[in-house]
Structure 1
């Protein structure tokens, strides 16, 4: 046992997030932690690390246990990235400072041969320990890990100059380089491209220490976990196996619970009928034994409790309204060039999108995927070449960076700018998962997933036959991702989407175009 949570209760905003939750973490752990947004996954990590305390219960950790924790929020700092990463391993950091101290001592005792010998002996031991723990190749490891995550250019930047995605990648490198006994990784694949995700999968598959990950990337979970914990109604429900195995086991469990619920419900109805019958017979005959029988059955009835059955989230999204058929050639891109700050981003790009194509546009971060999509929708202008839209093309576009005209307005007020009738606006918002208690929230306080759902609202009111989506499932939990996928599976028009979610790519695309070395190439099966 490395960590034990015993009868934990956590109260947030006067409501219990966890109640009487218990969990043991062990040396063999390769755990995926799943649950709907708001179920308490990140809070559970903070309880394990001690960053937050439980309202009730006890958390025990093995003596001297060190926990590496990748979280979604960061401490502001103006340190250089390389310096920050060099400090990631506390043992190496301590040894380095001791080496520096003894190098200064060597200069002061050079005339005292006896003292010099003592200092040299200790200095030699420190050098040996520093080398044994990888101290002399730490800079190479920093450089190679940053390169693997497509982030080499960050090494000499200051932390306060980085975007959120860049800072997350730096924090991931720091956790990887640290010497810890247990890893907690909260959404480690956020902002990673497919190559970076695959590198991380390979790293974790060879890792000798236990870990738990929160992720909305189903294929990643399949490849790096052997056990799944689901937070459900304030409790932990364990399943042996990766994400795919978990979904099968959960389905079996829910079906068994539903069957048991129906049997208990039928038993209660049967007892109620019998009680009514015995009471009626007692009233008609005046025979006391019928009343006693009715009371006996009432005691049995009181002992029967209906089992809890997990409720599946209802479908919150309307279907896409499809316009009339477009021409067979939806988009023709010819000899296209695009420069960003005098640097060539796209070079001599030529391809055609046909009616009913379902294209996944893939490539490394920074390769130009979003730029190419903006060129197609007309938000940017090509430096050379042409983009021709076919006849009768009705385009709908969801950008990666979602912006609203105003942020200090409520969800309802925003919806009324699209459909002035308040009743219709409330009804439509409910279809998108914004109910009566939600519609007064300000746009500036929305989560990433809520922003995506709200941005889809005006898009899905239009008639569209060519839909372009730039990372539409970013910041969405697995359940919301699957909802988007169901919507897009039913959409019968032409689709182009950017995603690093391999599960989604395999499920929705019939073609893949990759931006590679400034060119667009067809990915062959």
Structure 2
């Protein structure tokens, strides 16, 4: 019985389809861990989801699970809102009882102050006023206790819905309308031709998806723009606007090392903002003191992404941002990119992610 952990990471579209076709013919069954929605829709008929430390089993593929979960979350959200309103009303009633108790206590004290006068003039029982006040105070306290019990019951009925914090990025649209212009570009590395005749214009807003099979030169192209591909050669023309601040999210982030504090200092970014983004990405606080090289791949990826989000940038070069990220983190990025529309060249093989964020899709075919 096969246990398969994230088989599509770093694979191109054709390779993902090969795995989908193979698993579709698998007769003995398997458990697959993946965050690739299109892939899961092709290869699953049950979803086992871990939500807020609870395990839920759904019949159907990932699309069925998402639809069911969304409807359940909407129902629970409406129910929670109703319960919150009822809890607020109970708190107001409790507050009213508290003020009433305060008034009773004040009257009791006044009664004590003038009790000798009242006793002399009216010959009232000395304990009458105090007894009545104590009785009313006890009634007030009992009422408040009942309110507290009702509030606890209502709070116990509320459902814990997974919250997805909203991310932010330090993007400022450059005053240049065109940031990068490429004309008839051919790219080679170590004597091997990668792609030919690329024509592309990158404006100061909008996400452009660079697509193609592994080996078509996508990552090498980004590195060339950053002067990080010394063995790459090109014919044609490309022109970057002067003075651009470029943020790069590499596919290989294992070069990052040391503590988060030293990492922030080395890359000249705010340590506080780095930690804030990591918290929003679900990074455990207990791992803040762990050296980056000792973190899991998923944690290292969150550090790399948080760094890119903090950096003041005119242009983003992101290489496979969805890799190692769960669906919730992917949704955070999707909502962010839809909202901000930064100037970005994006390399990604996750079809769902591309469809959600790309304003333009460009395919690089192997020469």
TM-score (norm 2): 0.75
Work out the CA distance in 1 between the residues paired with 2:132 and 2:325.
61
Say if 2:321 is the partner of 1:472.
yes
Which residue of structure 1 aligns with residue 332 of structure 2? 483
Return the match for 1:308 from 143, 146, 159. Answer: 159
Which residue of structure 2 aligns with residue 346 of structure 1? 194
Which residue of structure 2 aligns with residue 190 of structure 1? 9
Work out the CA distance in 2 between the residues paired with 1:386 and 1:307.
62
Work out the CA distance in 2 between the residues paired with 1:404 and 1:205.
38
Partner of 1:349, secondary structure, is strand
- Report if aligned partners of 1:275, 1:298 keep a CA contact under 8 Å in 2: no
- Report if aligned partners of 2:49, 2:55 keep a CA contact under 8 Å in 1: yes
- Report if aligned partners of 1:320, 1:491 keep a CA contact under 8 Å in 2: no
Which residue of structure 1 aligns with residue 235 of structure 2? 385
Cα RMSD of the aligned pairs, angstroms, is 3.6
Q: Structure 1's 275 and 321: CA in aligned 2 closer, same or farther, altered over 3 A?
A: closer
Which residue of structure 1 aligns with residue 30 of structure 2? 211
Which residue of structure 2 aligns with residue 138 of structure 1? none
Work out the CA distance in 1 between the residues paired with 2:42 and 2:348.
19
Q: Rg: which structure is higher?
A: 2
Return the match for 2:45 from 226, 248, 269. Answer: 226
Say if 2:2 is the partner of 1:68.
yes
Partner of 2:49, secondary structure, is strand
How far 1:473 sits from its partner (Å)?
1.9
**More displaced 10-residue stretch of structure 1: 382-391 or 365-374:** 382-391
Which residue of structure 1 aligns with residue 259 of structure 2? 410
Q: Structure 1's 384 and 233: CA in aligned 2 closer, same or farther, altered over 3 A?
A: closer
TM-score (norm 1): 0.54
How far 1:368 sits from its partner (Å)?
2.3
Which residue of structure 2 aligns with residue 239 of structure 1? 58
Say if 2:168 is the partner of 1:318.
yes
In structure 1, the gaps of 5 or more residues are 1-66, 70-184, 519-525
**More displaced 10-residue stretch of structure 1: 233-242 or 288-297:** 288-297
Render the CA deviation track for 1:242-281: whole Å, top value 9, x for unaligned: 3233223223222333343444455556566379749959
Say if 2:355 is the partner of 1:509.
no
How far 1:336 sits from its partner (Å)?
2.1
Q: Structure 1's 277 and 211: CA in aligned 2 closer, same or farther, altered over 3 A?
A: same
Partner of 1:383, secondary structure, is strand
- Report if aligned partners of 2:195, 2:365 keep a CA contact under 8 Å in 1: no
Q: Structure 1's 460 and 260: CA in aligned 2 closer, same or farther, altered over 3 A?
A: closer
Work out the CA distance in 2 between the residues paired with 1:337 and 1:275.
73
Q: Structure 1's 515 and 303: CA in aligned 2 closer, same or farther, altered over 3 A?
A: closer
How far 1:371 sits from its partner (Å)?
1.7
- Report if aligned partners of 1:326, 1:393 keep a CA contact under 8 Å in 2: no
The number of aligned residues is 329
Say if 2:18 is the partner of 1:199.
yes
Map 1:2-151 → 2, pairs under 5 A: 67-69=1-3
Q: Structure 1's 443 and 511: CA in aligned 2 closer, same or farther, altered over 3 A?
A: same
Work out the CA distance in 1 between the residues paired with 2:268 and 2:298.
22
Which residue of structure 2 aligns with residue 64 of structure 1? none
- Report if aligned partners of 1:201, 1:220 keep a CA contact under 8 Å in 2: yes
How far 1:231 sits from its partner (Å)?
0.8
Work out the CA distance in 2 between the residues paired with 1:457 and 1:294.
51
Partner of 1:237, secondary structure, is strand
Map 1:146-295 → 2, pairs under 5 A: 185-267=4-86, 273=93, 277=97, 284=133, 286=135, 294=143
Q: Structure 1's 462 and 443: CA in aligned 2 closer, same or farther, altered over 3 A?
A: closer
Partner of 1:367, secondary structure, is coil
Work out the CA distance in 1 between the residues paired with 2:88 and 2:132.
21
Q: Structure 1's 385 and 306: CA in aligned 2 closer, same or farther, altered over 3 A?
A: same
Partner of 2:216, secondary structure, is coil
In structure 2, the gaps of 5 or more residues are 105-130
Q: Structure 1's 334 and 378: CA in aligned 2 closer, same or farther, altered over 3 A?
A: farther
Partner of 1:472, secondary structure, is coil
- Report if aligned partners of 1:393, 1:465 keep a CA contact under 8 Å in 2: no
- Report if aligned partners of 2:185, 2:235 keep a CA contact under 8 Å in 1: yes
Which residue of structure 1 aligns with residue 126 of structure 2? none
Give the structure, 1 or 2, with the largest relative contact order (CA under 8 Å, sep 6 or more): 2
Render the CA deviation track for 1:418-466: whole Å, top value 9, x for unaligned: 448xxx5234422332676443121112222332332234434444333
- Report if aligned partners of 2:45, 2:61 keep a CA contact under 8 Å in 1: yes
Return the match for 2:297 from 434, 448, 467. Answer: 448
Instruction: Flag the structure with higher helix content.
Output: 2
Which residue of structure 1 aligns with residue 121 of structure 2? none
